[in-house]
Structure 1
Amino acid sequence: MSIMRYAGAAIGAALAISTVAARAQDAADWRDIETKYVFGFTEGSGIGLEGEKEFSVDTEARMGKRDGRYFASESKLEFEFTPNQYVQFEMGPFVSAHAISGVSGLDDRHQLGIGGLFGEMRYLLLDRGPSSPLALTLSAEPEWRRLDETSGARVNNLELELKLNADLELIKNRLYLGSNLLYEPEGTHDPDGVGAGWAMESKTGISGALALRVAPSTLIGAEVWYLRHYNGAWMNDYTGDAVYVGPTLFVQLNNKMFVTAAWNVQVAGSETDNPGVSLNLAEFSRQRAKLKVAVEF
């Protein structure tokens, strides 16, 4: 019931605002906008213009566990290239930061360092056109980590994030609906562990997001994420789930620079090892935030 209340309030508010805004100003002459970054943690289908290059700093932070003080973040230093209208590549290192004290099951840690490397390929499956307001993109993002994203401990971690990104133009140049399907297997090896093998786990998820264009260069919105965690790379053993809800913001600063931000709070969740709790703070954080600044050239 609480999930529906939070999700319904966020989506209902965005729809109400869009109705008023659409009557107040005619957006028919606004230019088309790339939808990849307008939904916060939810990714849109946008690929970009052929030959376009981009450099960005993309930071995702996670805050709060059941006790103590917990902060962890990864900042990707991304180089993005679009060789044609159907394919896009990203790559680069990322910097990891951890500030952990008094959290059960985690060592106290305060550190900043190179966390690993990542790459991403996006392929446009279905482009938006006059006959269809729907667009679909498939993305694959392999990552290697030398620092565990949760604890900050030294590890060898391999992860593959697979997403189906969809968005729908509900009102031309004004209101967009986005959704992601996520599957993310990963394996972690502790190099200091004696005789330890690879610990396998996986995560699945689905999201829904609305983005309202309140000005030619500004979109505001809200998103909802439902995530499930498993032991085993193939969703072998279910361990818990979490629901996140929060606002989003996208601002095109000029023709070549933009910033996007999002904040999510966990509003519901469960743990199979601790069935009496109302949130899942074992596999997930209490809050998460995203800030991306990008320059195209």
Structure 2
Amino acid sequence: MAFGLNQVRWTETICAATAIVAALLPFAVRAEGIDTEHIFGFMIGSDVGTVGEREFQSVTTGRFAKDSGTYRAMSQQLEAEFVPMQDFRVEVGTTFMAHDIAGVPGLDDRRQLSWQGLSVDLRYRFLDRETAPFGMTLAMETHADRVDETTAAVVRSYGTEFTAAFDREVIPNVAVAALNLSYEPEWTRVPATGSAERDATVGAALGLMVQVRPGVLLGGEARYFRKYDGIGLDAFAGQALFIGPTAYFQLSESSRLTAAWGIQAWGQRPGSNATLDLVNFERHQARLVFGVNF
């Protein structure tokens, strides 16, 4: 009964958000195009910035709720972005993690704050929306971690997320739609036991953002993931669909803020009749991104 009530409330929230966006759309103000580099929360756009541009970015991500017990995982990523040449962006970052885990099946109880690791994100734009029917960028983000983002255990983990990002202004200077396709293989070794694991996650995401006034965009993202044991997609482990709103605010000429939230609306795991996969994924995900040019 509780699950049904939550589903009704979620449906009502989606309808209300859609109605608000629809009501605001006629009053949207035309501007000099929409830069998609930072307007999405969990997704990425095809824009990569202009030559010589430098930015500092803070990305706070929260993941909450598993099958039972208490599960909270917060990551704080600090990044520096550079555009050394036309259509090419470089980003280097470091991440800290905080975990609060208690009574979750299959996970040790932990409450800790730790330095997780380092990352490098490279993006190259192959198609520019101004000269092509749509924008297209390929991104490769490599990370090396010493703490597992899910279990908080000490590990030696290496992975790379490959993303193909496409976007197009469906209403010029007012609304932009984006598609992300991703593949992320990961190698993990646990020094305490000597065990090693290989897994991979593939995903597809759709996003739509509407400029309701200059520097303010509202919209949402729908993200679908499939988890596999083995980097060659050897054995299916689970799948999940996340849906939620996104908001972007241009705070000043040099600063910006993006906020996004997603709820697992549907999921499935082999051998389970549950309509959510709360073993491989969380029930809720949230993200807050603050950036400034320097």
5 Å-filtered alignment, 1:73-112, equals 73-112=74-113
The CA deviation at 1:143 is 0.4
Which residue is 1:267 aligned to? 265
Mark the CA change 1:86 to 1:54 in structure 2 (over 3 Å): closer, same or farther: same
Q: Is the 8 A contact 1:18 1:175 kept in 2?
A: no
Of 277, 281, 289, the match for 1:284: 281
Give the gaps of 5 or more residues in structure 2. Answer: none
Preserved CA contact (<8 Å) 2:29 2:211: no
Runs (4+) of structure 1 exceeding 6 A deviation are none
One-letter amino acid of the counterpart of residue 186, structure 1:
E
Partner of 2:169: 169
| Aligned-partner Cα distance in 1 for 2:179–2:16 | 17
Aligned length in residues: 286
The residue identity in structure 1 corresponding to 2:249 is V
User: For residues 115 and 234 of structure 1, what CA distance do their matches in structure 2 show?
Assistant: 26
Q: Which residue of 2 aligns with 1:228?
A: 226
Instruction: Give the Cα–Cα distance (whole angstroms) in 2 for the partners of residues 26 and 262 of structure 1.
Output: 23
Partner of 1:239: 237
Cα distance change on mapping 1:171 and 1:215 into 2, 3 Å: same
Aligned partner of residue 254 in structure 1, secondary structure = coil
Contact 1:39 1:178 in 2 (8 A): no
Match of 2:44?
Answer: 43
Question: Take 1:26 and 1:92, find their aligned partners in 2: how far apart are those partners?
Answer: 35
The amino acid that maps onto 1:33 is I
Pick the aligned partner of 2:27 from 24, 28, 48: 24
- Separation in structure 1 between the aligned mates of residue 232 and residue 273 of structure 2, nearest angstrom: 27
1:121 to partner: Cα distance: 0.1
> Are the aligned partners of 2:41 and 2:289 in contact in 1 as well (CA < 8 Å)?
no
CA distance in 2, matches of 1:180, 1:54: 23
Q: For 2:133 and 2:245, locate their aligned partners in 1 and report how far apart those are by CA, in whole Å.
A: 24
Counterpart in 2 of 1:134? 134
Contact 1:89 1:122 in 2 (8 A): yes
Question: Which residue identity does 1:277 align to in structure 2?
Answer: A
The residue identity in structure 1 corresponding to 2:229 is: N
Hey, what does 1:296 align to over in structure 2? 293
Distance in 2, matches of 1:22 and 1:281, equals 36
Instruction: Give the alignment's TM-score, normalised by structure 2.
Output: 0.92
Alpha-carbon distance in 2 for matches of 1:242, 1:25: 34
Mapped to 2, the partners of 1:12 and 1:204 lie a distance apart of 31
Q: Does residue 250 of structure 2 align to residue 252 of structure 1? A: yes
Q: CA deviation at 1:228?
A: 0.2
Letter in 2 for 1:98: H
Give the Å deviation of 1:85.
2.3
1:161-212 residue CA offsets vs partner (Å, 9 max, x unmatched): 0000111101111101011001000010001114x3x210000010111101
CA contact (8 A) 1:97 1:113 kept: yes
Q: Distance in 1 between matches of 2:238 and 2:122?
A: 29
CA distance in 2, matches of 1:87, 1:179: 20
Letter in 1 for 2:259: A
**2:100 partner amino acid:** A
Map Cα deviations across residues 108-142 of structure 1 (whole Å, 9 max, x no partner): 1111111000000000010011x534101000000
For residue 33 of structure 1, report the CA deviation from its aligned partner.
2.9
Q: Structure 1: how far apart are the matches of 2:83 and 2:168?
A: 22
The superposition leaves residues 243-285 of structure 1 with CA deviations (integer Å, 9 ceiling, x where unpaired) of 000000100100100010100000110011x321110011000
Q: 1:266 to 1:115 in 2, by over 3 A?
A: same
Aligned to 1:183: 183
Write out per-residue CA displacement over residues 26-49 of structure 1, whole angstroms, 9 at most, x where no aligned residue: 51xx13332022122111111011
Q: How far apart, in 2, do the equivalents of 1:23 and 1:264 lie? A: 27
What RMSD in Å do the two structures reach over aligned CA positions? 2.0
Structure 2 residue matching 1:23: 3-state secondary structure: helix
Pair 1:155 & 2:155 matched: yes
Match of 2:66 in 1: 65
Q: Is the 8 A contact 1:11 1:222 kept in 2?
A: no
The letter of the residue matching 2:95 is: F
- Per-residue deviation, residues 200-238 of structure 1 (Å, max 9, x unmatched): 000001011110111101101011111000000111111
SS in 1 for 2:26: helix
How much has 1:11 moved relative to structure 2? 9.3
CA distance in 1, matches of 2:212, 2:169: 15
Identity %: 36
Give matches, 1:201-216, under 5 Å.
201-216=199-214
